[in-house]
Chain A
Amino acid sequence: MTGTMPKWADVLLIPLINLVLALLVSGIVVLWIGENPLEALRVILVGSVGSAYGWGYTLYYATNFTFTGLAVAVAFHARMFNIGGEGQATLGGLGAALVCLSIDWPHWTLAMPAAILGALVFGAAWASIPAYLQARRGSHIVITTIMFNFIASALLVYLLVNVLKPPGQMAAETASFPEGAHLPSAHEMFAWIGVSFPKSPPLNVSFLLAMAACFFVWALIWRTRLGYSIRAFGWSETAAVYAGISPFRITMITLLISGALAGLMAVNSVMGEAERLLIDAVQGAGFVGIAVALMGRSHPFGVFLAAVLFGILYQGGAELEFELPAVSREMIVVIQALVILFTGALDNLVRTPVERLFLKFRPRPA
């Protein structure tokens, strides 16, 4: 039975209960290791949001996760599970790096749009093959995108080792990007308006790009004809055909948008932070996107909140390692796993009883 719950319960209450359950189980794990979970929570919070420095890292991570989360969310609306954000972001990194290294950019305002284009084209291109195979040949998108993650990582290693690495350099990475491709960091941007912000956090102008991406996805899904078609296709493919919506077209477009969003992450991580292309530049953010999209109920605003939450966990997790050596930063991977498990796979564990509760206390129709 659906429609028994008010909307706020569906979008707010249930994710919150799921999150609390995930944290509760994580707390038990911490306890088992022999540390105080409340102390761990305090360290995470202080480390991530207790200072401008912490915020600088938290929001930097959140920027990455917003992109990959939106990528998963857009595909979810068409009932497709794009698990290939990792590979698409890897290729996005390649695209951004090629653009940044191509010429000696005079100014970041020129370099950034070009790099955005490079990142999203490469990300979308990497999604296009699984998209086509899904749309035309019915190859399951989940399996093909998993395969493409591995292929992407092999491809990148090959390119870095054999092609992109400057001669004579040991490390498998590209040369540093030219000065003109440097994106303004939060430190620099706050300085423009006369506010001081620590220098080291990697938060940069890409954060604004992530916000824009959220707005773009919201408008796309709920305000455009394309979004209408994507949602209709997602709910029912047969009905979509009845309405004259082409499944091939929607599958392709949705996954290209999804891949492009994942690719955009590189503008933040490759161009904004590392300023060169490294092996494993994505560092699992593609997978975090799954948790973020699930938590955020595939709504851009929810995705953003969930991305900040995971930013807190990632930044706080790094602090955790310093403060409580017994709890290594893999604790964050565990929490992430539990969030995915409770919000994604075990959703009915919470949903069914909550629905029953609402049914019980529902005002009787007169």
Chain B
Amino acid sequence: MDLATALQILDSMLRLSAPLLFACLAGLFSERAGIFDIGLEGKMLASAFFSAAVAAFTGSVWLGLAAGLTASMILAMVHGLASITFRGNQLISGVAINFLASGMTALIGQNWFKIGGRTPSLSGDSRFLELDLPFADALGAVPFLGPTYRDLLSGHTLLVYVALAAVPATWWILFRTRFGLRLRAVGENPEAVDTGGLSVTALRYQATLICGFLCGLGGAYLSTGLAAGFIRDMTAGKGFIALAALIFAKWRPGYALCACLLFGLLEAISIRYQSIEIEGVGTVPLQLMQALPYILTVIILAGFVGKAIPPKAGGQPYVKER
């Protein structure tokens, strides 16, 4: 494999990792605060649809983004209402939200555009366009580093860079700010937070909203950055891969980046090659590549390669002791 091919695959990895990264960090905020969220998929899907739809109507990708974020955060509020206020089952709420998003986007999409649940193709200002980093072309001549800079790092849409920047930002918020300390505490022992005179409810709602915001970014990127428009169920399990990445990353931002890049790479390879020959092993089928993130996550969950310990209070509604 030559450098150019490798760079192409890695470039595609970055593109494909970005939505995973958004969703994974979204899940990280939520689960660190003790709210399990298997509705990442649904929130991304809702955002993907409303971003593309509003961008198509208005011609402005920014208005689209705002609509996508709003849709995703509304679903996040529903999840918060179910799991915080009404102390319902967080997993069931997540399942419901996934279906709600899947049904609503297809229903409304068909109703608004009447082209099989898709939105019209987006172009120009109604999409996030690829940005060229400064001096990309000029530096392209430098051996190795030049093409790497030009072909791999440069030429992505704004949201890809936002996703990458979100990783250190998340780390900083979680481990260097007051809010982060409280957020982590509420996911480990909400009683400690409550007796400390803080509101468990408020903290958890904040985490849920951040989760909705980040899922919104991920969804908007899918339909207005990565693709040029919405198609039915376009998240295609990305929310669940992100969830897998989150477990793979043991709920840590840095590891989350690695996990998302890995899963993005697997996807990039499976898109580029229909099948892969490995010397001495034979053909690796495409489907195995697609299933690999899930298989790896199960192995991690099984504790064969390091133990993934979720936040202690995760999944349980907080009830004040009598």
Chain A residues with CB under 8 Å of chain B are 29, 33-34, 81, 83, 129-130, 133, 137-140, 142-144, 146-148, 150-151, 154-155, 157-158, 161-162, 287, 290, 294, 326-328, 330-338, 340-341, 344-349
Contacts and interface: CB of A to CB of B under 8 A. Distances in A.
A133 B108 CA distance: 41
A344 B92 contact: yes
Nearest to B83: A345
B89 interface: yes
Contacts of A338: 96, 100
Interface string B289-313: 0110011011001110000001000
B166 interface: no
A334 B92 contact: no
Contacts of B86: 345-349
Given A29-B104, A334-B100, A337-B96, A345 B301 contact: no
B111 A154 contact: no
A345 B92 contact: yes
A259 B108 CA distance: 35
Contacts of A133: 298, 301-302
B243 interface: yes
B61 interface: no
Tell me which of B83, B93, B106, B294 has the highest count of chain A C-beta atoms within 10 A of its own C-beta.
B294
B226 to A, nearest CB: 20
Contacts of B99: 287, 333-334, 336-337, 340
B96 A139 contact: no
Interface string B32-48: 00000010000000000
B103 A340 contact: no
A328 B110 contact: yes
Contacts of B237: 150
Interface of B: 38, 78, 81-83, 86-93, 95-100, 102-104, 106-108, 110-111, 117, 237, 240, 243-244, 247, 285-288, 290-291, 294-295, 297-298, 301-303, 310
Contact of A143 (B95, B301, B303): B301
Contacts of B102: 330, 333, 337
A157 B274 CA distance: 14
B38 A146 contact: yes
Interface of B is mostly: helix
Contacts of A336: 99, 103
Contacts of A33: 107-108, 111
A339 B91 CA distance: 15
Contacts of B243: 143, 146
B294 A150 contact: yes
A314 B286 CA distance: 33
27 contacts: A34-B111, A139-B303, A143-B297, A151-B294, A154-B290, A158-B285, A158-B286, A326-B111, A330-B102, A330-B104, A330-B106, A330-B117, A333-B99, A333-B103, A333-B107, A334-B107, A337-B102, A338-B100, A340-B92, A341-B93, A341-B97, A345-B83, A345-B86, A346-B88, A348-B87, A348-B88, A349-B86
Contact of A333 (B78, B91, B106): B106
A332 B240 CA distance: 23
Given A327-B107, A349-B86, A139 B95 contact: no
A340 B111 contact: no
A36 to B, nearest CB: 15
B305 to A, nearest CB: 12
A337 B291 contact: no
Contacts of B108: 33
Closest 8 CB pairs of A and B: A333-B103, A337-B99, A345-B93, A334-B103, A344-B92, A345-B88, A154-B291, A337-B100
Contacts of B110: 328, 330
Tell me which of A161, A294, A327, A330 has the highest count of chain B C-beta atoms within 10 A of its own C-beta.
A330
Contacts of A83: 91, 95
Nearest to B244: A147
Given A337-B100, A344-B95, 14 more contacts: A33-B111, A83-B91, A133-B301, A138-B303, A143-B247, A148-B298, A154-B290, A157-B287, A287-B95, A330-B117, A344-B96, A345-B90, A346-B86, A346-B93
